[in-house]
Structure 1
Amino acid sequence: MFLLTVLFSLGFTSIFGQKIERHFNEAAYPYYLYLPHDSILKNQPPVMVFLHGKSLSGSSLESLKKYGVISEIIKGRHFPAIVIAPQTTNGWNPSSIKGVLDLVRAKYPSDSTRIYVIGMSMGGYGTINFTGTYPDLVAGAVAMCGGGDIRLGENLSKVPLWIRHGDKDYAVPISESQKIVNSIKKYSAENLIFTIDRGLNHGAMERFFRSEEIYEWLFKQHK
């Protein structure tokens, strides 16, 4: 862990053929970039975008190590995908997220039928709004304890989407997710999963980044 911390401070890490890089001043957001082993990378892997919550906001990328996908990578989790984790100081803009995604995909060929987005809290809002803005791009998305623009319901109905929210969330009430669910159901609920996590508050939802189920579901989705 000490070696990993030192390497991260230099902006680049290579472990067992995998790479984690920090990128600044290339796009609207700075971002972490995880590259899987070359044997995976050369075969055009899927891409997963992780959108953090408000508590991880900033511009140095350091706070992204606290929880979520980057935290899991630091702890040793391997993903069969390119992972992009941008950082914002104040809310998520769909076109700015796409700018980072386009930049990475231009450099590293990837599977255009398997582009995924996952986020929690503010990142849940970002996930919903990005997916609803670019439904033809996103193959699957997981939005936890967030909400979003209910005007995007028709577009969201076209994408496999897993929304989950704790019923004891007093930071972002579950009604925020329910509004999105209802807006989608006006068109079609065929691609929608809505999970109410009983007894869980806002912060407790980060435990799902440590589980397998959301990743297993996500990586099964295709355009």
Structure 2
Amino acid sequence: MIRWRRWRMLLTCALLCLTACAGMPDKRDRGTFVMREIEVAGTRYRYQVFVPMQVREAKTPVVLFLHGSGERGDDGVKQTAAGLGPYVHAHAAEFPAIAVFPQIPEGQEWSDNAALAMAVLDAATREFGGDPDRTYLTGLSMGGYGTWDLALMQPGRFAALVPICAGVQPHPQRPTLRVQSVLGESDPFAAAAQRLRGTPIWIFHGAKDDAVPPEQSRRMASALKAAGARDARYTEFPEANHNSWDPAYATPELWTWLWRQRRTAR
């Protein structure tokens, strides 16, 4: 009887330890990118997660990044090579959030891969102790289109959005590149703005962008203002071409603003 009590006490302690450690990353992973795999609808995908150096007992902010067309593939690495990935690499010691990098296959669009993006986000949030109320969505080019689309598909899911060099209307040279959620609307900008007006948004674009016209972001910013958005900002870099993601992520005020955002009561 005494022996059984001792085993029961040890088992209870072990379970309590597992519960306390759930969602706390391995110390060896802190300040690094780690590779993970996930199965969605019978297909396996690789993705990367940056684990911040400083992880507190409280839940950690999460940034979901949607890559552009040039980073599609199945290696699980290219999606960290442009945009947010290099910025996080350069600021690994102080970047305070979990950064999540899904990757979609060649020839596909984010509008067809919302389930993959959300599955990866949910898995990383669980594993690394992410804060659902401080989860942010950003993307560039094709991933910027995806940022608008995913936010519209998941209303109230994200505390803030940062779309960069993105469009809303179907791209004239690539009609599959579009925001599916407002396709068919007589004014897709107004329709998207009306549905997203309660979410803080900071849009970035380059004035000399020859891939996605800056007029797309200008019209979206105007629509948000007309819809009475509570916090919508637009920054246009006069000398930037399509790669406006470099000056965007290098904007110190962006991060100060972003970390202040918290999802409101649902």
The CA deviation at 1:210 is 3.5
1:58 equivalent to 2:73? Answer yes
**Aligned CA-pair RMSD:** 2.4
Change (3 A) 1:122 1:13: farther
Alignment match, 2:34:
21
The CA deviation at 1:186 is 4.1
Alignment match, 1:44:
59
1:103 equivalent to 2:116? Answer no
Moved over 4 A (4+): 12-15
Mapped partners of 2:152, 2:248: distance in 1: 23
The CA deviation at 1:208 is 2.5
Alignment match, 1:158:
198
Query: Secondary structure at the residue paired with 1:88?
Result: coil
Alignment match, 2:49:
33
Give the TM-score normalised by structure 2.
0.70
Mapped partners of 2:166, 2:218: distance in 1: 10
Query: Secondary structure at the residue paired with 1:26?
Result: strand
Once the two structures are superposed, residues 134-181 of structure 1 have per-residue CA deviations (whole angstroms, 9 ceiling, x without a partner) of: 231110111111023333222211100001111111100012223323
Query: Secondary structure at the residue paired with 2:210?
Result: coil
Change (3 A) 1:41 1:122: farther
Mapped partners of 2:159, 2:48: distance in 1: 21
Identical columns (%): 29
Alignment match, 1:91:
109
Cα contact 1:56–1:64 (8 A) shared by 2? yes
Mapped partners of 1:124, 1:74: distance in 2: 21
Mapped partners of 2:49, 2:56: distance in 1: 13
Cα contact 2:206–2:242 (8 A) shared by 1? yes
- 1:108-127 residue pairs with structure 2 within 5 A? 108-127=128-147
Query: Secondary structure at the residue paired with 1:111?
Result: strand
Cα contact 1:119–1:127 (8 A) shared by 2? yes
Mapped partners of 1:208, 1:164: distance in 2: 6
Change (3 A) 1:208 1:13: farther
Mapped partners of 1:58, 1:206: distance in 2: 22
Residue in structure 1 matching 2:220, options 167, 173, 180: 180
Structure 2: give runs of 5+ residues left out of the alignment.
1-25, 169-178, 180-187
Cα contact 2:164–2:244 (8 A) shared by 1? no
Mapped partners of 2:244, 2:204: distance in 1: 12
Structure 1: give runs of 5+ residues left out of the alignment.
1-11
Alignment match, 1:221:
261
Mapped partners of 1:45, 1:179: distance in 2: 34
Mapped partners of 2:262, 2:52: distance in 1: 20
The CA deviation at 1:66 is 2.5
Mapped partners of 2:159, 2:38: distance in 1: 28
State which structure, 1 or 2, has the greater radius of gyration over its C-alpha atoms.
Answer: 2
Alignment match, 2:87:
72
Once the two structures are superposed, residues 77-131 of structure 1 have per-residue CA deviations (whole angstroms, 9 ceiling, x without a partner) of: 3321111011113221333311211222233332222110111111111111112
Mapped partners of 1:119, 1:144: distance in 2: 6
Mapped partners of 1:221, 1:179: distance in 2: 24
The amino acid that maps onto 1:154 is Q
